[in-house]
Amino acid sequence: MSQATEESTPAMNTQASARIGKSKWLFRLYLPAVFKGLFNTFLHLVKAKGHKTFTIQYPEVARPVRKGYRGEHRLKKDALGREKCVACFMCQTVCPSNCIRIVAEEAPWPDRDKRPKIFEIDMLRCIYCGMCEEACPCDAIELTEKFNVVSTTRTEKIYNKEKLLSN
Ligand code: SF4
Ligand code: SF4
User: Could you tell me if 140 and 84 are in contact, meaning their C-beta atoms sit under 8 angstroms apart?
Assistant: yes
121 — phi, psi (to 5°)? -125, 125
What is the rounded average pLDDT for all residues in the chain?
88
Buried b (16+ CB within 10 A) or exposed e, 5-42: eeeeeeeeeeeeeeeeeeeeeeeeeeeeeeeeeeeeee
Q: Are residues 154 and 111 in the same domain?
A: yes
Residue nearest to ligand 1 atom 2, measured at CA: 129
Q: Are residues 159 and 80 in the same domain?
A: yes
CA of 129 to the centre of ligand 1 (A): 5
pLDDT, residue 167, reads 87
CA of 79 to the centre of ligand 1 (A): 26
Q: Are residues 50 and 77 in the same domain?
A: no
**Structural domain boundaries, residue 107:** 73-166
pLDDT, residue 9, reads 66
pLDDT, residue 124, reads 96
pLDDT, residue 45, reads 85
CA of 97 to the centre of ligand 2 (A): 16
Q: Residue 162: which pLDDT band, with cuts at 50, 70 and 90?
A: very high
Please give the tally of structural domains in the chain: 2
CB of 164 closer than 6 A to ligand 2?
no
Residue 133 domain flag: yes
Residue 5 has pLDDT above 50, yes or no: no
